[in-house]
Structure 1
Amino acid sequence: MIDQRTTDIDLRWRASPLALALATCAAVALAAALIGARWQPVVFAAPLLGALVSLGWQRPSPTVRVHAEPGLVRCFEGEQVRLALWATADDGTPVGLTFSTAAGASIDVAGDPSGRIELVLSAERWGRYPITVRVDVVARGGLLAGRAVLGYPVVADVFVFPVAPAQSTALPRTELLDRLGTHMTRHVGRGVEYGGIRAYVPGDQLRTVNWPVSARRGGLHVTERLSERAADVIVVVDTYDQPPGPATQATERTVRGAVQVVQSALRNGDRAGVVALGGQPRWMGADIGRRQFYRVLDAILGAGDGHETTTGTLVPRAAIPPGAVVVAFSTLLDTDFALALIDLCRRGHVVVAVDVLDGAPFDDLDDPLIARMWSMQRAFMYRDMRTIGVDIVLWSNEASSTDGPLDQVMQLVPRRRRAAARR
């Protein structure tokens, strides 16, 4: 079933060009009659004045609704999507539509015999592209003209999702949950990788007996296998307002990195979720499957209503399952976001922050002393956060332009044992 969005229009009514022309002609005729003391111009103005006076006898102003089908469209970068727009009035009055969208999107228009406007939209960069329209309608016998520009709520929403690189992103090296998965561990269990040979003890399954070794050693020996476990991966995205300049440009790496981590986790059979802090905080709990990938994209861009919303500056406890690995993408310029990461570390989670800010957040920085001071300040922040338990790695602009950079950056994260949660 195709989703259809209907928006009621609150029109602003004013005198139409026809009413202004009638009033102007009547005024000129009456003025000529007064100045020239002649009755003929009055006869000319009488029907014009009658048309204007008939305004109160005309049919009431119509109620206009704008329809969009579908009302919410999702696609990836470079893809084309189609949607239909049309407007209806309760008395059948013709309605004119003029539409527009955000910069960066290309729109092709195709007419429809039924009166609909078929739009074909595509965008090369991820983001939200709301469809806004201007409505023009005449009423009261053409004497009134109504106009409305729909800015919010918008008629239709087009969300363009980013395309993540195909490279697999490694998780921080830590103790994983005791759940069947694809990540190799050093724990002995049910797996396929060789873990060692030991003597047989009562209770071992006969299928694990290594008969060649048992024959050589004169006693039963079994083959141990290393277990393969799964993880819960939660991506925390910094959506706080950033200062203009390099910090704003770093948003591109924030979103693409978050999508890449989620995509890699779901491909490996792990559960993945997302938390967006800043503005209106929202989150999507950890789950598996292909549909979860699109739910996470919705939560990152704020599309639809399938995600949960919250208040405050900390990550809700319901959004982070016990023992989850947290990967955060941020410019680390907002103190509230840093405090949220520290709170997650105190709960016992392994927290890794990816710094997407390349250099200082200033435009046209020519003074080398200021650049050096900024670099030292960031190094001190890295040290302080690492002492607390939050590991920070830098994902620079140069690294993001190469193949598989995020995976190489994540390899720099040191191994940490999971700390006990603090109450």
Structure 2
Amino acid sequence: MIEARHTDVEMRWRASALALSLATCVAVALGAALLGRWQLTVFAAPLLGALMSLPWQRPVPNVQVHAEPALVRCFEGEEAHLVVWATTDDGTPVDLTITTAAGAQLEATRDAAGRIEIALTAPRWGRYPLVAGLRVAGRGGLLTGTAAGHVAAADVFVFPVAPARATALPRTELLDRLGTHLTRHVGRGVEYGGIRSYVPGDQLRTVNWPVSARRGSLHVTERLSERAADVVVVVDTYDQPPGPATEATERTVRGAVQVVQSALRNGDRAGVVALGGSPRWLGADIGRRQFYRVLDAVLGAGDEHETTTGTLAPRPAVPPGAVVVAFSTLLDTDFALALIDLCRRGHVVVAVDVLDGAPFADLADPLVGRMWSMQRSFMYRDMRTIGVDVVVWSEAGTLDQVMGLVPRRRRTRPGARAGR
């Protein structure tokens, strides 16, 4: 079902070009009549009557903007199609124009009914609102109405395209749930784990008959279990200073999408938490539909995600035993405290530093850059001591290479680290 949007527009009314022309002609004619050309009053009388008829004209129309669909989602480079038109309650025609944010290519064609068919293409992810410009005549053409403010006719959300590389998770104890991640635990799997003597209760299909024949007693083949994980991506949406910090937003969004995409392909559950200006979260789930829900939550589209307040990740957003992968510039203290809180709850937390270089416009003194690098390394050491592993992701490498550098950590019981 295609959802349409109907927006009532508040109009700002002023004198039209016709009214200004009539007023000018009346003023000139009456001025000349005062100078002795009284015959010009005959010329000014009908013009003045037209202006005086303003209170008896029809009331100004009410304008409404329609868009179908109201919300369009597409990926980078894809073409989004929608239709926008405007109507009035008395049938007055409306001059409608559509604009959008910079960076998007907009093609608009008008059909016979006056509706505008729009095809939008954007090379970069983001939100591209379609803004309607309106102009309508009222009071017999003596008034001209324009939109009183910003009229958002529809929204186009362009999703990022993440590389189809498999992103490794932090090496830790996984949940006892059937999945695709090979572990060292013996269970129901397909990978060879070893040979042991038969114990009453073992299934006959696990008996290794060639080995049993050689050793003269029953032996069974053990298999390594394959388990699943809960992956929650935490995205830093706090305001960033200009420079390299704003450029890191590109890696933040693409990295979050890549981790979720890889987790869902492996049969894991995935969710997202966005901490910053408007905190929101989406619980962990599986399936292809969950991937699009995560994209909506990252860009703030739709209404399937939950909103929250505060600076910490809500407990329902991060299920027990989940692996947390955070993408941030690590410039905001509140975001770092949120990661420490997740670590104290017993989660394995990996922070991916997406800031490439110092957040300064110019580094006139090289000593400042060295001091900045030393300060960041000290911060990494302190966070690792607490339990948050930090890896640096720059333009020189890929995310799957960076995640391979995360050390193995054993999962701790919730509250155990906080009590030390």
Please give the TM-score of this superposition, normalised by the length of structure 2. Answer: 0.98
Name the residue aligned to 2:128.
Answer: 129
For 1:111 and 1:90, how far apart are their aligned partners in 2?
21
Q: What is the match of residue 411 of structure 2?
A: 418
SS of equivalent to 1:32: helix
Is 1:165 the counterpart of 2:163 in the alignment? yes
Q: How many residues align?
A: 416
Q: CA separation of 1:164/1:149 partners in 2, compared to 1, >3 Å: closer, same or farther?
A: farther
SS of 1:197's equivalent in the other structure is strand
The amino acid across from 1:60 in the alignment is: P
For 1:151 and 1:286, the matched residues in 2 are separated by 36
Deviation of residue 150 (structure 1)? 4.8
Q: Which residue of 2 aligns with 1:402?
A: none
Give the aligned partner of residue 239 of structure 2.
Answer: 241
What secondary structure sits across from 1:167 in the alignment? coil
Structure 1 partner of 2:188: 190
2:296 to 277, 295, 298: 298
For the residues of structure 1 that align with 2:180 and 2:149, how far apart are their CA atoms?
50
Give yes or no for contact 1:84–1:119 (8 Å, CA) kept in 2.
Answer: yes
Q: Is 1:204 aligned to residue 202 of structure 2?
A: yes
Which residue number corresponds to residue 64 of structure 2?
A: 65
Alignment partners' CA distance in 1, 2:148 and 2:276: 29
Q: Does 2:27 correspond to 1:34?
A: no
CA contact (8 A) 1:281 1:310 kept: yes
Could you tell me how far apart the structure 2 residues matched to 1:304 and 1:199 are? Answer: 57
Q: Which whole-Å CA distance do the structure 1 matches of 2:102 and 2:149 have between them?
A: 17
Q: Which runs of 5+ in 1 are unaligned?
A: 400-404
1:2 Cα deviation (Å)?
1.3
SS at match of 1:195: strand
Deviation at 1:393, TM superposition (A): 0.2
Deviation of the 1:217 alpha carbon: 1.1
Paired residues of 2:354 and 2:393 also in contact (CA < 8 A):
yes
CA distance in 1, matches of 2:292, 2:149: 28
Please report how far the alpha carbon of residue 39 of structure 1 lies from its aligned counterpart in structure 2 after TM superposition: 2.9
Number of the residue aligned with 1:44: 43
Q: For 2:239, what is the secondary structure of its paired residue?
A: coil
- SS of match in other structure, 1:86: strand
- 2:333 counterpart of 1:335: yes
Residue number in structure 1 paired with 2:10 = 10
2:49 maps to a residue whose letter is G
Q: What are the superposed Cα offsets for residues 138-195 of structure 1, whole Å, 9 maximum, x if unpaired?
A: 100000110016525x111010000000111000000000000000000000000000
**In the TM superposition, what is the alpha-carbon distance from 1:364 to its structure 2 partner?**
2.2
The 8 Å contact of residues 132 and 150 in structure 1, kept in 2 or not, is answered as no
Report the 3-state secondary structure (helix = DSSP H, G, I; strand = E; otherwise coil) of the residue aligned with 2:35: helix
**Alpha-carbon distance in structure 2 between the residues aligned to 1:5 and 1:168:** 39
Q: How big is each residue's C-alpha offset from its partner over 1:76-113, in whole Å with a ceiling of 9 and x where there is no partner?
A: 00001111110000000000112211110001122211
Q: Which residue of 1 aligns with 2:256?
A: 258
Give the AA of the match of 2:257: V
Structure 1 stretches of at least 4 aligned residues deviating more than 2 Å after TM superposition: 149-152
In 2, are the aligned partners of 1:135 and 1:149 still within 8 Å (CA)?
no
- Is the 8 Å Cα contact of residues 134 and 150 (structure 1) preserved in structure 2? no
**In the alignment, does 2:406 pair up with 1:409?**
no
Instruction: Tell whether the 8 Å contact from 2:383 to 2:390 is kept in structure 1 after alignment.
Output: yes
Equivalence for 1:108 = 107
> Structure 1 residues 78, 263: closer, same or farther in 2, change over 3 A?
same
CA contact (8 A) 2:323 2:349 kept: yes
SS at match of 1:192: strand
Question: Residue type matched to 2:14 in 1?
Answer: R
Give the partner amino acid of 1:170. A
Aligned-residue RMSD, C-alpha: 0.9
Match of 2:383 among 378, 382, 385: 385
Task: Determine the C-alpha separation between the residues in 1 that align with 2:195 and 2:328.
Answer: 46
Instruction: State the AA in 2 paired with 1:390.
Output: V
Verify the 8 A CA contact 2:12 2:148 in the aligned structure 1.
Answer: no
Q: Over residues 187-213 of structure 1, what are the superposed CA-to-partner deviations in whole Å (9 max), with x where a residue is unaligned? A: 000000000111111111111111111
What is the distance in 2 between the residues matched to 1:140 and 1:285?
A: 54
Shift of 1:415: 0.3
With 260-269 and 359-368 compared, the bigger mean Cα shift is at 359-368
Given that 1:174 and 1:417 are in contact with CA atoms closer than 8 Å, whether structure 2 keeps it comes out as: yes
2:351 alignment partner in structure 1 = 353
SS of the aligned residue for 1:250 comes to helix
CA contact under 8 A between 1:129 and 1:157: conserved in structure 2? yes
Native 8 Å contact 2:157 2:301 kept in 1: yes
Residue 269 of structure 1 corresponds to 267
Residue identity in the other structure for 2:25: C
The answer (yes or no) to whether the contact 1:16–1:143 under 8 Å persists in 2 is yes
The CA distance in 2 between the partners of 1:167 and 1:199, in whole Å, is 41
The answer to whether residue 374 in structure 2 is matched with residue 376 in structure 1 is yes
> Does the CA-based 8 Å contact 1:133-1:150 persist in structure 2?
no
Q: TM-score, normalized by length of structure 1?
A: 0.97
Residue 233 of structure 1 aligns to a residue whose secondary structure is strand
Mapped partners of 1:309, 1:21: distance in 2? 54
Deviation larger for 349-358 or 206-215? 206-215
- For 2:22, the equivalent position in structure 1 comes to 22
Distance in 2 (CA, whole Å) between partners of 1:336 and 1:205 is 54
CA distance in 1, matches of 2:45, 2:376: 81
Whether the aligned pair in 2 keeps the contact of 1:132 and 1:149 (CA below 8 Å) is: no
Q: CA deviation at 1:218?
A: 1.2
Letter in 2 for 1:239: T
Residues 277-292 of structure 1: matches in 2 within 5 Å? 277-292=275-290
- SS of 2:10's equivalent? coil
